[in-house]
Amino acid sequence: MRKERTIYSCTTCGHKEPRWVGQCRECANWNTFLESAAEDREPPRFNFQRKEVAKALPLKDLVISESPRIKTNLSEFDRLLGGGIVKGSFTLVGGDPGIGKSTLLLQAASAAAKQGVVVLYISAEESLEQTFLRAQRLGVTGNDNLLVLSETNFSAIKKNIEEIDPDIVIVDSIQIIYKNDIPSAPGSFVQVREVATEFMHLAKGRGISIFLIGHVTKTGEIAGPKMLEHLVDTVLYFEGEKQQNFRLLRVVKNRFGSTDEVAVFQMTGGGLVEVCNPSQFFLEERTKESTGSVIVATLEGSRTFLVEVQALVTDTVFATPSRRASGIDQNRLALLLAVLEKRVGYPLHSRDVFVSLAGGIRIAECAIDLGVILAIISSYSNRIIPSNVVAIGEVGLSGEIRGIPRIEGRLKEAIHLGFKKFFIPKRNSEAIMKEFSSKIQIIPLEVVEEAIDALFV
C-alpha cells in the first residue's frame, strides 16, 4: 500500500502542488490553495462499486418511471420537495445554527416512520439524551422504525446503514462527521466533501433517501453547505430571524420539482407548525388607520404574501440624516429617497427615515418600491393611507412606475383578504382590467406623482 499523502490544489485553475503555496504558478492568483485528498491512495476512495458498466442509450428509448414518494405529515415540506421524499434522493438542508433544522427533520422523520418507513436519524452533534429530550418536546414518541444513532465516524455510520438498510437517513450534521483516512479535521473542506460524496454513493447505490444537515458558517473555518450544492439533488435553506418565531424554508435547487418555492413555518413550544395562510399571519398585528403604513403584495415562488410596509419620517437632529431599512435593501431605500427628493420634490434631506417590513420578513423584490414610497410620504405628511389599499409597482429612476410579473396572483390573494383599492402599474392594468374592474377599484399609474395625488391631495 502506498504511503498516504496530502496535496494542495488551486480552487481557481485546479493546478496541484505537493505543499501549500501562496500564489498559483499557473493562474497567478493568490491564496487560492486548499488542501485536497491524495489521489493515489489505496484502496479506492469510494468503496461503492457499480454492478455493471453503464451503457449509452438513444434518448427516445428511455423509459422513465415516476419515482415513488414518501409523504410526511408536514404538507408544506412535501410540497417544497415536489410532492414528498423521492426514493434515493440526496437533499441538503442548510441554515444558521439554532434556526430549527434538527427540529424540522426529526418531525419529518417521525411522520415518515409512522407510515412504516424505516428512518435512521444520525444525531452526530447531540447525544442520544438530547435527541430524546427534543423528541419529547415535539411530542414524538416514535416506533420501531425510527432509529437514532449518535456517531461521528463515517465507517461506523456506514456499517449501521448496511446492517439496518433504512429507507431514509438523516445526517445531523455533515460538518461533524469524519473519515479516519483523511488527516484534516472534521468540518474541513476535504472532510465535508469526501463524506458527502460517500453519502451520495450510498443514496444512489442503495436507493436510500439521504438528508444532510449543514450549518451556514460566516467565518469560513468550517466548510459551509454552499460547496455541496452541486453534489445534491435538492437544496433547502432555512431562514428567519431567531427573535421572530416564523421561519421560511426555501428551495434553491430541486431535480424533482420546482425551485424558488417557499414554505412558512412557525416555531412554537411544541416544534414547527406550518403556516398555511402566510398573508394573514403577517398582517395579524397590523394597527389599522395609522400613518406611514401600507400593504404590498410580494411573490415568493408560486405564493403571494401580503406584507405591511411601515415608515417613520422625523426631523433630524444631526448634520447627516439617518436612513435605516429593515427587511428591504438599504441601497434600494437610498435610491427611492433620491427619487422622491429629485423627481417629486419632497425635501427629505433634513429628515431621518426608517423603513421596516412588519413581522421581520425580508423582501428583495422591486415590486414593493411603490409601497415603500407611499409609506414614507404618508408618515412625512401625517396622512393616513386607507386600510383597504394595496400598492404594487417597481419605481424607476425617473419616478416612472414599471410593470411587474404575475399581477393576477397578487390581486387574487389581496381580494381574498378583503382589500378593495389597488394602485398598480399602467402596463399591467390593461391585461387585468376586464376580469377585475367589477370587483375592485384599480388605479393604473405611470408615474409616482399620480399615486401621491390620488391618496394625499
Which positions lie near Mg ion, rule CB under 5 A?
102
Smallest gap from Cβ 176 to ligand TYD, in A, equals 12
**Which of ligand TYD, Mg ion, none lies near 347, with the C-beta cut-off 5 to 8 A by kind?**
none
**Which of ligand TYD, Mg ion, none lies near 135, with the C-beta cut-off 5 to 8 A by kind?**
none
Q: What is the grid cell recorded at 167?
A: 429507507
**Which of ligand TYD, Mg ion, none lies near 267, with the C-beta cut-off 5 to 8 A by kind?**
ligand TYD
Chain positions contacting ligand TYD, by CB under 6 A: 95, 97-103, 134, 137-138, 267, 269-271
> What radius of gyration, in Å, describes the C-alpha atoms of the chain?
27
Q: Which is nearer to ligand TYD, 118 or 216 (CB)?
A: 216
Q: Which is nearer to Mg ion, 82 or 100 (CB)?
A: 100
**Which of ligand TYD, Mg ion, none lies near 98, with the C-beta cut-off 5 to 8 A by kind?**
ligand TYD
Smallest gap from Cβ 136 to ligand TYD, in A, equals 9
Q: Which is nearer to Mg ion, 102 or 209 (CB)?
A: 102
Smallest gap from Cβ 213 to ligand TYD, in A, equals 7
Q: Which is nearer to Mg ion, 123 or 293 (CB)?
A: 123
Kindly report whether the peptide bond that precedes residue 278 is cis, defined as omega within 30 degrees of 0.
no
Smallest gap from Cβ 134 to ligand TYD, in A, equals 5
Q: Which is nearer to ligand TYD, 274 or 449 (CB)?
A: 274
**Which of ligand TYD, Mg ion, none lies near 103, with the C-beta cut-off 5 to 8 A by kind?**
ligand TYD
Smallest gap from Cβ 95 to Mg ion, in A, equals 9
Q: What is the grid cell recorded at 189?
A: 473542506
**Contact, 231 vs 47, CB < 8 A?**
no
Q: How many CB atoms lie within 10 A of CB 242?
A: 12
**Which of ligand TYD, Mg ion, none lies near 271, with the C-beta cut-off 5 to 8 A by kind?**
ligand TYD
Smallest gap from Cβ 242 to ligand TYD, in A, equals 7
